[in-house]
Copies of this chain bind each other. A is one copy, B any other.
Amino acid sequence: MNLAPSPRGAALRDRVAAFFANRILPRHWEWLGAVAAGPGTPALARSLREEARAAGLWNLALPSALPNLDFAPLAENMGRLPWASEVFNCHAPDVPNMIMLEHAATADQRRRFLDPLLDGRVRSCFAMTEPAVASSDARNISASIRADGDSWVVDGRKWYITGAAHPDCAFAIVVGVSRPDAPRDGRHSCVIVPMNAPGVRVVRTQRFLGWDDHVAPIAELVFDSVRVPRENLLGEEGGGFRAAQVRLGPARLHHCMRTLGACEVLIELMLARASERRAFDRALVDYDSTQVAIARSRIEIEQARLLVLRAASALDTAGHAGAWREVAMIKVAVPEMAQRVADRALQLFGAMGGSDDTPIHHTYAMARLLRIADGPDEVHLRQVFRTEPPPSRSLEESPYLGAPASARE
């Protein structure tokens, strides 16, 4: 179990780190000002995207470009700011969508939908969750995808669709029921729906715990008798979940990696705050509970990172099915860890910690959202449980118990 990056990975890690430190981080205030002014990718980010692309630091989140284990430190670095991934075209949900298209798209679909994404010309979204059903059990999804002549007709309401409110969002991959009478696992299909198709409507933007995602702004969508050509089916009919499967592992993995970077920023800020701020004639850093808050955060981050690296390695070597359990574990462990770290940081910063002046609110909201998005904790915990091997012997036969009842007297 080697969790270190390859030489190529290490070199890319260092180049991304330098690009981040020299080109992105110094312009963060500028970016904050720009996104406050209105939606869409600000000009400064667009220009940095050109730079990153020219430097060869582009699309590295694709497993076809770089193994997940090698991408991990890059992703963590990008996670230090909410918009750095976008600069490298490594942001969600476009990357998971690209991976899905790489696997399932026809040549024509690749040309029409994948290439512009790889090229960074457009944005996309993945429209699965619905307000009316528990999306934690994806088989509940109820949007309708009905064949009608040369078209699919899509009807339904989707919400909390990340990226759908971005002005450049060109298409949605929509999950819905195309075979209502099939067995439950074979009812759903995916179709690609251009956002400008008649009947597609962005009902409203959405935020989570008061946090607006500027990179992939969230929206509620209505699909009202939307017609798309039959060739927009992505993957097989009735095989919607199979087609989507391939995007889940990397999506969850990348979120967890980025979250680690966001937590490292909070550690850095906590250390500075605790050194500078004084109360009752002592620096906060001289209170042992401050030290404990930082030390616990450190220990939890280190453990979480190792688990993430192992999951990345598993995805590289064992594929989606083989890494399922590993991914489920990080999906639970990392966001809970980040919520705790953010909570400690918030307490240390006082009111400022909940203000818009620090990244704490962002990390808090992102961590909290991740405990729900892509399947709530409950689903992943159940998954971890189910992949435990069944007990190999009864309690009565266990040599670890003091004595079998029959032998006890």
Residues of A whose CB lies within 8 Å of any CB of B are 1-4, 25-26, 28-29, 32, 80-81, 129, 131-132, 134-137, 140, 159-160, 203-204, 206-211, 222, 265, 267-269, 271-273, 275-280, 284, 287-289, 291-292, 294-296, 298-299, 302-304, 306-307, 310, 329, 332-333, 346-347, 350-359, 361, 364-365, 368-369, 371-373, 376-378, 381-386, 388, 390-395, 398-403, 405, 407-409
Some 8 contacts from A to B, beta carbons below 8 A apart, are A1-B4, A29-B399, A210-B210, A267-B388, A271-B388, A289-B292, A295-B385, A357-B403
Contact of A32 among B25, B388, B403 (CB under 8 A): B403
Contact of A369 among B284, B354, B364, B395 (CB under 8 A): B354
Query: Do B402 and A32 touch across chains, with their CB atoms under 8 A apart?
Result: yes
Centre residue among A32, A134, A137 by max chain B CB count within 10 A: A134
In the assembled complex, the CB of A103 is this many whole angstroms from the nearest CB of chain B, namely 26
Given contacts A310-B306, A399-B29, contact A354 B368 (CB under 8 A): yes
Q: How far is the CA of A369 from the CA of B28 in the complex (A)?
A: 26
Centre residue among A129, A136, A296, A355 by max chain B CB count within 10 A: A355
The 9 lowest CB-CB distance pairs between A and B, nearest first, are: A210-B210, A306-B306, A357-B402, A303-B303, A272-B391, A295-B384, A291-B385, A208-B354, A134-B279
Query: Do B352 and A131 touch across chains, with their CB atoms under 8 A apart?
Result: yes
Residues of B within 8 A of A280 (CB): 137
Residues of B within 8 A of A206 (CB): 355-356
Residues of B within 8 A of A373 (CB): 351
Residues of B within 8 A of A268 (CB): 391-392, 398, 400
Residues of B within 8 A of A208 (CB): 351, 354-355
Q: A140-B278, A268-B391, A359-B401 are in contact. List 19 more A-B contacts (CB 8 A).
A: A2-B3, A25-B400, A28-B399, A132-B405, A140-B279, A203-B409, A204-B408, A208-B351, A208-B355, A209-B209, A209-B354, A271-B390, A272-B391, A294-B388, A295-B332, A298-B385, A347-B372, A347-B378, A354-B372
Q: How far is the CA of A85 from the CA of B19 in the complex (A)?
A: 51
